[in-house]
Structure 1
Amino acid sequence: MSTYPLPIRVAAGLATVTVEQTRQLPAQLLGLPLTVASQALQLSMRVQQQITELAIRGDETLSAWQGTEDEPEWATFDEDEPPPPAEQRLVNVAEPTDGSDVLAEYDGMSLPQLRGKLRGFSADEVEELLEHEQRNENRVEFVRMLTNRLTRLRGED
C-alpha cells in the first residue's frame, strides 16, 4: 500500500464526506425548518431567562437602596374600616318568636353573601348567628367563618 501525502488523503476524505452528505441532503431538508425553528425558540427562551434574571437582580439592588413600605397606603382591610351603623346593615337579627333565635334572611344566604355582610355584625350578633348555625344546619364552612369572626371581635374588645 502506497502512502499518499497528507493533503491528498484529506482531499479524498473531504470528497467522500461531501458525496455522503449530498446523498442525505433530501432527507435532511425535510426536517430543516423544524430544526431551525426549534433552535430559534431555544435561543429566545435563553434570552428571556437572562433578561428576567437581570431584572430580578436589579429589583434586589434597587429595593436595598430604596427600602420597602411595610404597608402601602392604598391597602385597606376589613378590620381597618369601622362597621356601618346598625340601620345600614343589610341583614338584621330577628327577635325570638318561639324561644329560639330565628334569623331573618340568614338561612337563605350563601357563604360569600354571609362573608360580605359579616363585618357589620357585633360580637353578640355573630355569636347568635353561630349558635343558630350549630343548632340547625351546622355547615362546617359557616361555623368556621363565624367562629373566626367572633374570635377577632372578642380579641378587639
Structure 2
Amino acid sequence: MASAPYGVRLLVGAATVAVEETIRLPKTILMYPMTLASQAAQIVMRFQQNLAELVIKGDSTLESIFPPKEENPEWATFDEDSADGIEGVPTELPDGAGGDRRAEGRFALYSVADAALDAGAPAKPAEHSNNSVVEPSVAAELDYPALTLAQLRARLQSLSVDELEALLAYEQATKARAPFETLLANRITRANAK
C-alpha cells in the first residue's frame, strides 16, 4: 500500500481523534465542572500558601532587624496588673466557684474538684467521710478518682452493670459530682434495658 502524503495523514489522524472525543464527550462533560472547580481551588490554595510563606519570612526578617519592644500601653489593663480586677466586675465568682467553670453544671468535662480543694477553695460539707468509704476494685483498675468525665464516658462500654452500680455508689459516697452520677445512672439504665 502506498503511503499517503504527510498532510493527509495528519488530517485523517486529527479527524479520528475528533470523532473519538465526540463519542466520549457525554461521559467527560459531566466531569469537567468538578475538574475545573478542583483545579481552581488548588490554584487558590497554592497561592494562599505562597503568600503566607512570604509573610512569615518577612516577619522573621523584620524581627531580626528590629527586635520587638516590650510595650505596656497606658490604656491596656490586664487582670494580672491590678489586684482588684476590672472595674465593675467582681473578682470572685458567686458561690465560691473559684474561677473554674469547667467543673460546674451538667456538661462539666473535667474533674477539678481536687484542684480547687488544694488551692484553698471552700469545700462542700460531705455527708460521708472519704476515709470510711471502701474503693471498689473497678475504681482502682480505672484509676477512677483521676478520670475526667470524657475519659469515664469512653470507658463505660466495657463495664458490667454491677461494676457501674459500684462506681455510682462510690461516687455518691465520695465526691458526689452531679455530671458523673448522671452519666453512670444513665448508663446503668441503658444497660438494664438491653
Q: How does 1:3-152 map to 2 (within 5 A)?
A: 3-69=3-69, 71-73=70-72, 74=76, 76=78, 78=80, 80-82=81-83, 108-112=95-99, 139-146=113-120
- Kindly state the Cα deviation for residue 50 of structure 1 after the two structures are TM-superposed: 1.0
> Does structure 1 retain, via aligned residues, the 8 Å contact 2:98–2:116?
yes
Identical counterparts, % of pairs: 32
* Cα distance in 1 between the residues matched to 2:56 and 2:91: 47
CA deviation profile, 1:74-117 (whole Å, cap 9, x unmatched): 47463x54579xxxx988xxxxxxxxxxxxxx9x5224169xxx
Code of the aligned partner of 2:18: T
* Cα distance in 1 between the residues matched to 2:30 and 2:63: 51
- Kindly state the Cα deviation for residue 20 of structure 1 after the two structures are TM-superposed: 0.3
- Kindly state the Cα deviation for residue 49 of structure 1 after the two structures are TM-superposed: 0.9
* Cα distance in 1 between the residues matched to 2:38 and 2:116: 53
The structure with the greater share of residues assigned to helix is: 1
CA change 1:82–1:26 in 2 (3 A) is closer
- Runs of 4+ aligned residues of structure 1 deviating over 4 Å after TM superposition are 74-77
CA change 1:49–1:7 in 2 (3 A) is same
The count of aligned residue pairs is: 103
- Kindly state the Cα deviation for residue 41 of structure 1 after the two structures are TM-superposed: 1.1
- Kindly state the Cα deviation for residue 65 of structure 1 after the two structures are TM-superposed: 2.0
Larger radius of gyration: 1
Deviates more, 1:50-59 or 1:31-40: 31-40
CA change 1:3–1:90 in 2 (3 A) is closer
- Kindly state the Cα deviation for residue 18 of structure 1 after the two structures are TM-superposed: 0.6
CA change 1:90–1:66 in 2 (3 A) is closer
Instruction: Give the alignment's TM-score, normalised by structure 1.
Output: 0.51
Unmatched 5+ stretches in structure 2 = 102-111, 121-194
- Kindly state the Cα deviation for residue 25 of structure 1 after the two structures are TM-superposed: 1.4
* Cα distance in 2 between the residues matched to 1:63 and 1:90: 37
* Cα distance in 1 between the residues matched to 2:91 and 2:18: 86
- Kindly state the Cα deviation for residue 26 of structure 1 after the two structures are TM-superposed: 2.0
Unmatched 5+ stretches in structure 1 = 92-105, 115-137, 147-157
CA change 1:12–1:56 in 2 (3 A) is same
Instruction: Give the alignment's TM-score, normalised by structure 2.
Output: 0.43
- Kindly state the Cα deviation for residue 63 of structure 1 after the two structures are TM-superposed: 1.4
